[in-house]
Every structure is written in structure tokens, then in C-alpha cells.
Amino acid sequence: MGIFFSFFMVIMIALIAYLGVAVANLHMLFGIIIPYAAFTAFVVGFLMKVVKWGRSPVPFHIPTTCGQQMSLPWINYSKLDNPSCTSGVVSRMILEVFCFRSLFRNLKTGLQDGNISYGSDKWLWLAGLAFHYSFAVVVVRHLRFFMEPVPALINIIDSLDGFLQITAPHFLLSGGVLLLAAGYLFFRRVSNPQVRYISLPADYFPLFLIIGIALSGILMRYVAKVDIIQVKQFTISLVSLQMSVPEGIGVIFFIHLFLICTLLIYFPFSKLMHMGGIFLSPTRNLANDSRIRRHVNPWNPEVKVHTYAAYEDEFREKMKGAGIPVEKE
């Protein structure tokens, strides 16, 4: 259900852009108004969410400890998986964010002849890594459209990305890898019965959206080629706030752009916010130092307790009988 719903949603979005530009000639709307609105929604939405999370308290100190604690000096402790200081936490987070360390641990559990078997399962880790890194390269690469002159670094990334030097214009690996990885993630979602069972429209929709963006981008570059000079003139006009209504750029460009705008608007309200959330996860970004330093709960409530005096009042005679010292005779 979720698959078809999400698939048709993305087709609809592409169709809206097609009809809006090719038929209704709404270049101004799709080229200027929507992109500005989408970019604003993304930035404001993202910030609001992160600020909302950031302002909510972390009442308790709850790191998940995945290695030996820091205890006696002669016992080696796990600085990365059970950090006791900030530098350890920072290293743990860097490995988490850049290497998906927790996902690297992934296992596959099976049942054979009444015994449980465990096997390494790194495909999700690998595909996730490929997906995110290629996406990042694609995004950075696109900065060339928004900058004049193009910074050297972006040119270097661009030439590394296209080092195979096949096809003209030269084939950019990141786009292909992005498409493959997203394809694998989709394939995994439908072919693994457990993962299919837990999947919601909200899982398929962003995948289809990103696949749509990658496909339209690749089509635009290699097949239904658009006038790249015009595209750049237009994007520069957007960033310099001297909007000129783009005419004559192929409609596929507008489909690509509208899909991206949809992604930007959708982003802050969806699971894609894991991008911001991972930095704030209290099980990962805290040091296991709660016995060393007191962690304060900002809303620490008063609670009713059963005092020693009340306890002794109830059991005084029994305590005396058992030879246990009491406060009041």
C-alpha cells in the first residue's frame, strides 16, 4: 500500500511540474516563488526542530555503554564506546556520524535446527554509507551552479567525481552511486519481509523522491540535455536576488527543481531529520561519567519518602529484640 501511494505521489509531483511549466507556463511560480519558499521552509523548519530538541532537557544521564568502563587504572577502558570524557564523546560521535559505527555492528540472526546463529551483516551499513556520501558529493558539486567563480575545491571534487572520463559530458560517479544505493535501500525494504512489514509510506516517499531527483538529474545531463549556461545564469540570479524569469530551459529542469523543492519542504517534518537528531541523541553524546560528576535534572521533583524515623517507629521493638541499634529507646 505504502509503496504505491508514495510512488504515485512522486509521479504526481513530477507531473505537476510538467503541467505547470510546459502547459500553464508558470515559470515564475516554479522557477522563483516555490524554490525560495522551499529553501526558507527547509532552513526555518530544520532550525526550529533542532532548537526545539536542543532546548528540551536531558534530565538523566543515559549513555549506552558499548565497551569497558573507565575504572581501575590497570584496566584498559574503551574510550570510544564508553567514553569518560569529552574527547572520547567527540570521537564517538565523529565515528558515528561519519562512519556509521553502530550500524557497522549489524548482525543477522537466524534459527537453524533449534540453534540460533549470528552472522555479520554489513550491507545496510555499506549501502547507507554509499548513499549518504554520494548524496553529499552531489550536493557539494551542485554548488558550482550557485557560485561564480567556481571555487577550486568544487572543481577538484567535480574532476575526482568524473575521473573515469567516460561519456561526454564525463560521467559523474556520485550520481550513479546515489541511484544504485537508493535502489538497493528500496530493494531491501521490499525484499526483506521484516523490513517491509515495518515500512510506512513515509519510508518509501523520500526514497522515491530522491530516486526521482537523481534520475531527472542524470537524464538532464546525459539524455534530454538542457542549456547549462542558461541554468547557471538562472541559479546565479536566484542567489544574487536578481531574479530573472527563466525561459527556454527544458521542462525536465523544472521537474528536477520541483522534486528538490518538495524534498526541502518535506525534510523538517519527516524522519529525514535524523540528520539533525543524531547529534543530540543522549545515549550517544554523553560520557559515562555519572559517578564522577553529578548530572543535574532541571525539573528534579520533590517526592514523598519513607523516612528512617517512620521505619524505626514501626519496627523498634523487633529491632531491639534482634539486637539492632535504634535511635530512640
- The smaller minimum CB distance to other proteins, of residues 294 and 328, is found at 294
CA dist list (Å): 7 to 179, 208, 309: 16, 6, 68
Residue 253: other Cβ atoms inside 10 A: 24
- The smaller minimum CB distance to other proteins, of residues 147 and 324, is found at 324
Member of 23, 56, 168, 242 binding other proteins (CB under 8 A): 56
Residue 19: CB minimum distance to other proteins, A: 23
- The smaller minimum CB distance to other proteins, of residues 197 and 241, is found at 197
319 lines the binding site for other proteins (CB under 8 A) = yes
Member of 67, 170, 176, 232 binding other proteins (CB under 8 A): 67
Cα gap 7→186, rounded to integer Å: 12
Site for other proteins in 188-227 (CB under 8 A): 192-203
Residue 46 sits at the vertex; the CA angle it makes with 44 and 49, to the nearest 5 degrees, is 105
Residue 324: other Cβ atoms inside 10 A: 11
Listed ranges 16-24, 62-70, 229-237, 244-252: which one lies at the site for other proteins (CB under 8 A): 62-70
Site for other proteins in 241-280 (CB under 8 A): 269, 271, 273-274, 277-278, 280
Site for other proteins in 143-182 (CB under 8 A): none
Member of 148, 156, 282, 313 binding other proteins (CB under 8 A): 282
69 lines the binding site for other proteins (CB under 8 A) = yes
Q: 109 with 121: CB under 8 angstroms?
A: no
- The smaller minimum CB distance to other proteins, of residues 185 and 231, is found at 185
Beta bridge partners of 116: 111
52 lines the binding site for other proteins (CB under 8 A) = yes
Member of 149, 152, 299, 328 binding other proteins (CB under 8 A): 299
For 150, residues 6+ apart whose C-beta sits below 8 A from its C-beta are 144
Closest by CA position to 120, among listed 100, 101, 99, 105: 105
242 phi, psi to nearest 5 deg: -115, 65
Member of 27, 61, 122, 232 binding other proteins (CB under 8 A): 61
Continuous H helices in the chain: 2-18, 27-28, 34-55, 86-99, 101-104, 123-142, 152-161, 173-191, 193-198, 201-218, 228-239, 251-266, 274-277, 308-321
306 lines the binding site for other proteins (CB under 8 A) = yes
- The smaller minimum CB distance to other proteins, of residues 49 and 221, is found at 49
- The smaller minimum CB distance to other proteins, of residues 16 and 32, is found at 16
Q: 249 with 229: CB under 8 angstroms?
A: no
Cα gap 123→42, rounded to integer Å: 31
Cα gap 27→24, rounded to integer Å: 9
Site for other proteins in 102-141 (CB under 8 A): 102-103, 105-109, 111, 114-116, 118, 124, 128
Listed ranges 27-35, 39-47, 71-79, 158-166: which one lies at the site for other proteins (CB under 8 A): 71-79
What's the distance, CA 187 to chain centroid? 19
Residue 94: CB minimum distance to other proteins, A: 14
Member of 152, 223, 296, 328 binding other proteins (CB under 8 A): 296
The grid cell for 275 is 540528520
> How many residues form the binding site for other proteins (CB under 8 A)?
98
Residue 280: CB minimum distance to other proteins, A: 6
